[in-house]
């Protein structure tokens, strides 16, 4: 039994190693900017993002505040999909939901029991997976449920593509997006998207949760450039002060904020 | 055919030649407009004046204006904002004719229909100072200008693209740019329920409940939902301060603070503490439905000291806003089935809603309940002449619904017109529940909820 498990693990590592060897052309830099809404401590931040070199996936989840322990569920989802080889599909989501630690209601207060029974734990999710290269191009597969947003910019920071799923413009926010729930049905709202994106060396990808996404869409509609929209990208430790002012002045909606930047250097 | 006219009151009061303002010119205009409509009751006239007009009128005219504002015949736009966008937006949303001597040049881009030749939507007036009579003629006519009486026979529709919402909505919001603060632990909000517990609340309202029982049940529901909205990561966060004041009876016991541990002098309780006071039924882990909690019991006794409860709420709000200037302002729900028995509550309500945080004035929403749905009103923008005195008083004391809440109401499937007040008259049970949901929506304002 032990030998069998060990063999399977060796095979998994061999495949990952093989994949990494084939992909040595592209090097990825990843930065994650995240913070809780204004006036709240870090512990309340229900956004979670992770980049895994092992599985070459980056995932971002935004826990729905008005559900049961959304931060824990968002982190579990992200870890499950970045640290395993689960295919990016609705069935994998259901598998993850079933694996989420069961809760003993006797340990909970009555409002928590009410939240758990009524809403379960809910989160949006976006995963980007880097497909093994076959040419100079970098191919990416994305999978999204809810309103996490994705932007691709070229080496000159010019915005090439922006995916505002499930929206098309800033005026569409805020709506009630789809989500992934721990209680069945696990997929709430028919909003999962699976698309292929091609990027080039020097490009950058930006994944963001809804409040930043709305701000981004509005700014882009006003004709601002990426550097104007996210000025903190070129400053060290600029995100905290920028986001503080942006939320205080109403430029960005008060919410947990997360931006993931991936550069193909 | 139902016709609507919106009158630019401040402009019609002005005498350009003498640079003076005369309220009688406006009254004459309304009279002559009504005459143009044939006087068969099919004409709705909406008059807007800007907040600065009262300072331009003589003392006697000022009294007339204030009386007409109180009675709902004239609508005053918020101080610091131009009346123009209110007038134009109302005209746009009601397919109304605009009567003004202003050209609205600054607004043509946002409301292109006002300068469209031959639209018949824009009318100017000539005032004969000898006869004290107005003649109203079409502006931007395609041929010979038509008189107002002719234009009223044409059905008007805003067929051009609607105005840009962002700019106009900003101006239309009576609290422009306000009521948008997110509710956090550092910046909690306050919710006060004023419950009529007078003897008349003993009447049967719905098939299941007496008025007192139904209202207590709705408030329990609202408190329960507030607790759930504030539950995060294992605890109930102090996002909301709650007060529940019951009024019914006489003298010093006419008003009671209904949450245990509170008094009428200190009626607020943080939602984190409220959760500890809940009466919950036995929880069973096998029960599929969520556990429920209650705080308030039905009571029905004595008179209706509405004035007294407003004064107590005002004292509480007054001290609350002093320490919460950055918060979403307090919202007060007054649920009643009748008239105040201790005097007109207008002044105490006005004082109550004057208290403000940096995000806006205190909001007062009124739900008048009745088993009789006749002449019911739901979030009215104005009252017509048929409305009775009680409805007028309650309408006048109720706050305008801020734009942010109006949008949240839309998400809840409740349509509230742009200049509406938070007022229900002869409301049904479901309408009261709807109002409580709308008013407490900011506490649930998570885009991902």
B189-213 tens-digit pLDDT: 999 999 999 998 988 877 667 889 8
Residues of A in contact with B237 (CB under 8 A): 44
Contact call for B182 and A38, based on CB within 8 A: yes
Supply the ipTM of this predicted assembly. 0.73
| Helix ranges (DSSP H) in chain A | 2-22, 70-82, 90-99, 110-119, 210-221, 226-229, 238-248
Which residue would you say has higher pLDDT here, B448 or A37? A37
Give the pLDDT confidence of B237-289 residue by residue, as tens digits: 898 999 999 999 888 889 999 999 999 999 999 999 998 898 876 544 444 56
pLDDT value, residue B398? 93
Query: Quick check: B339 pLDDT over 70?
Result: yes
- Average pLDDT taken over every residue of chain B: 82
pLDDT value, residue A126? 92
Q: Which CATH class is domain B3-163?
A: alpha beta
Min CA distance, B20 vs chain A (Å)? Answer: 41
Query: Which one-letter DSSP state was computed for residue A44?
Result: G
* Domains B3-163 and B170-444 fall in the same CATH topology: yes
Residues of A in contact with B282 (CB under 8 A): none
Residues of A in contact with B187 (CB under 8 A): 39
Superfamily of domain B170-444: von Willebrand factor, type A domain (3.40.50.410)
Considering only CB atoms, A44 lies closest to which of B182, B232, B448, namely B232
Considering only CB atoms, B231 lies closest to which of A111, A171, A254, namely A111
As a whole number, mean pLDDT of residues B90-101 equals 84
Residues A130 and B382: their CA atoms lie apart, in Å, by 60
Considering only CB atoms, A66 lies closest to which of B165, B289, B444, namely B444
Min CA distance, A254 vs chain B (Å)? Answer: 6
pLDDT value, residue A24? 42
Give the pLDDT confidence of A31-51 residue by residue, as tens digits: 999 999 887 778 889 999 999
Element (H, E) at B68: helix B59-70
pLDDT value, residue B176? 41
Give the pLDDT confidence of B5-60 residue by residue, as tens digits: 899 998 899 887 777 889 999 999 988 888 887 766 678 888 888 878 888 888 88
Q: Residue B277: left if φ>0, alpha if ψ -120 to 50, beta else—which one?
A: alpha
Considering only CB atoms, B449 lies closest to which of A64, A109, A250, namely A64
Element (H, E) at B352: helix B346-354
Residues of A in contact with B291 (CB under 8 A): 110, 113-114
CB atoms within 10 A of CB A75: 19
Contact call for B447 and A105, based on CB within 8 A: no
Chain A interface, mutation test: which of B187, B288, B448, B449, most A Cβ atoms within 10 Å? B448
Which residue would you say has higher pLDDT here, B257 or A114? B257
Q: Is B313 helix (H, G, I), strand (E, B) or coil?
A: helix
Query: Quick check: A14 pLDDT over 80?
Result: no
Min CA distance, A177 vs chain B (Å)? Answer: 7
Residues B189 and B177: their CA atoms lie apart, in Å, by 18
Which residue would you say has higher pLDDT here, B88 or B317? B317
Predicted confidence band at B164 (pLDDT cuts at 50, 70, 90)? very low
Query: Quick check: A53 pLDDT over 80?
Result: yes
Contact call for B232 and A65, based on CB within 8 A: yes
pLDDT value, residue A5? 53
Min CA distance, A104 vs chain B (Å)? Answer: 9
Min CA distance, B85 vs chain A (Å)? Answer: 21
Give strand pairing partners of A8. none
Contact call for A69 and B233, based on CB within 8 A: yes
Phi then psi for B242, rounded to 5 degrees? -115, 140
pLDDT value, residue B172? 36
Residues B143 and B446: their CA atoms lie apart, in Å, by 54
Residues B309 and B257: their CA atoms lie apart, in Å, by 10
pLDDT value, residue A3? 47
Domain ranges for chain B, please list them: 3-163, 170-444
Predicted confidence band at A209 (pLDDT cuts at 50, 70, 90)? very high
Give the pLDDT confidence of B358-367 residue by residue, as tens digits: 888 999 999 9
As a whole number, mean pLDDT of residues A222-239 equals 86
- Average pLDDT taken over every residue of chain A: 82
Give the pLDDT confidence of B217-229 residue by residue, as tens digits: 889 988 988 898 8
Contact call for A109 and B275, based on CB within 8 A: yes
Min CA distance, B177 vs chain A (Å)? Answer: 10
Contact call for A114 and B229, based on CB within 8 A: no
CA geometry: angle B155, B377, B370, nearest 5 deg: 155
| Residue closest to B422 by CA, chosen among B408, B411, B82 | B408
Min CA distance, B261 vs chain A (Å)? Answer: 21
Contact call for B233 and A71, based on CB within 8 A: yes
A-B C-beta contacts closer than 8 Å? 95
Residues of A in contact with B228 (CB under 8 A): 66, 111, 114-115, 118
Give the pLDDT confidence of B376-421 residue by residue, as tens digits: 888 998 887 777 888 888 898 999 999 888 888 887 788 888 888 9
For residue A114, what is the nearest residue in chain B, using CA coordinates?
A: B290
Residues B142 and B392: their CA atoms lie apart, in Å, by 42
């Amino acid at each position: 039994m032990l030998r069998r498990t060990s063999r399977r693990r060796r095979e998994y590592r061999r495949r990952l190693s093989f994949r990494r060897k084939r992909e040595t052309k592209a090097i990825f830099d990843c930065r994650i900017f995240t913070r809780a809404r204004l006036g709240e401590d870090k512990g309340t931040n229900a956004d979670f993002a992770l980049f895994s070199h092992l599985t070459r996936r980056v995932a971002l989840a935004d826990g729905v505040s008005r559900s049961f322990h959304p931060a824990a569920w968002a982190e579990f989802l992200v870890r499950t999909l970045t640290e395993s080889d689960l295919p990016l599909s609705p069935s994998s989501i259901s598998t993850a939901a079933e694996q989420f630690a069961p809760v003993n209601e006797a340990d909970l207060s009555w409002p928590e029991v009410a939240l758990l029974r009524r809403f379960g734990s809910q989160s949006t999710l976006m995963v980007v997976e880097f497909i093994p290269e076959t040419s100079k191009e970098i191919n990416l597969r994305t999978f999204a449920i809810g309103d996490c947003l994705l932007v691709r910019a070229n080496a000159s920071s010019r915005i090439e593509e922006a995916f505002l799923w499930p929206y098309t413009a800033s005026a569409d926010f805020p709506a009630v997006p789809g989500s992934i729930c721990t209680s069945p049905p696990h997929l709430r709202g028919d909003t999962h998207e699976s698309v292929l994106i091609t990027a080039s060396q020097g490009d950058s990808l930006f994944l963001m949760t809804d409040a930043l996404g709305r701000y981004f869409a509005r700014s882009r509609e006003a004709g601002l450039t990426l550097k104007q929209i996210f000025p903190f990208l070129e400053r060290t430790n600029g995100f905290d002060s920028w986001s503080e002012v942006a939320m205080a002045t109403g430029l960005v909606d008060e919410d947990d904020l997360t931006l993931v930047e991936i550069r193909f250097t | 055919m139902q016709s609507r006219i919106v009158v630019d009151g401040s402009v019609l009061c002005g005498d350009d030649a003498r640079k003076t303002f005369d309220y009688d010119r406006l009254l004459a205009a309304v009279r002559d407009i009504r005459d143009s409509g044939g006087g068969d009751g099919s004409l709705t006239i909406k008059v807007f004046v800007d907040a600065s007009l009262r300072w331009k009128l003589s003392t006697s005219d000022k009294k007339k204006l204030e009386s007409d504002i109180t009675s709902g015949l004239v609508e005053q736009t918020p101080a610091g904002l131009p009346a123009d966008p209110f007038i134009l937006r109302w005209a746009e949303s009601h397919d109304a004719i605009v009567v003004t001597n202003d050209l609205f040049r600054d607004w043509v881009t946002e409301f292109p229909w006002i300068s469209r030749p031959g639209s018949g939507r824009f009318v100017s007036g000539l005032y004969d100072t000898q006869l004290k009579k107005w003649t109203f003629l079409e502006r931007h006519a395609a041929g010979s200008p038509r008189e107002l009486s002719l234009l009223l026979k044409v059905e008007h529709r805003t067929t051009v693209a609607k105005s840009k919402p962002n700019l106009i909505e900003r101006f239309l919001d009576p609290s422009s740019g306000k009521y948008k603060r997110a509710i956090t632990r550092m910046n909690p909000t306050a919710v006060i329920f004023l419950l009529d517990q007078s003897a008349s609340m003993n009447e049967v309202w719905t098939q299941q409940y007496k008025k007192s029982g139904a209202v207590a049940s709705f408030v329990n529901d609202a408190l329960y939902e507030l607790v759930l909205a504030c539950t995060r990561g294992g605890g109930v966060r102090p996002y909301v301060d709650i007060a529940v004041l019951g009024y019914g009876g006489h003298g010093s016991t006419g008003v009671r603070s209904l949450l245990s541990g509170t008094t009428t002098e200190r009626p607020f309780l943080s939602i984190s503490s409220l959760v500890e006071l809940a009466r919950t039924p036995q929880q069973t882990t096998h029960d599929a439905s969520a556990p429920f909690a209650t705080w308030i019991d039905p009571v029905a006794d004595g008179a209706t000291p509405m004035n007294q409860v407003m004064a107590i709420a005002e004292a509480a709000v007054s001290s609350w806003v002093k320490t919460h200037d950055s918060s979403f302002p307090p919202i007060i729900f007054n649920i009643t089935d009748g008239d105040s028995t201790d005097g007109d509550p207008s002044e105490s309500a006005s004082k109550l809603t004057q208290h403000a945080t940096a995000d806006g004035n205190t909001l007062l929403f009124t739900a008048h309940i009745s088993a009789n749905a006749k002449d019911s009103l739901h979030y009215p923008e104005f009252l017509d002449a048929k409305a009775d005195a009680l409805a007028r008083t309650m309408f006048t004391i109720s706050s305008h619904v801020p734009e942010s809440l109006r949008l949240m109401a839309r998400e809840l499937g409740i349509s509230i017109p742009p200049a509406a007040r938070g007022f229900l008259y002869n409301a049904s049970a479901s309408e009261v529940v709807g109002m409580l949901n709308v008013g407490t929506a900011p506490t649930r304002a998570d885009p991902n909820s």
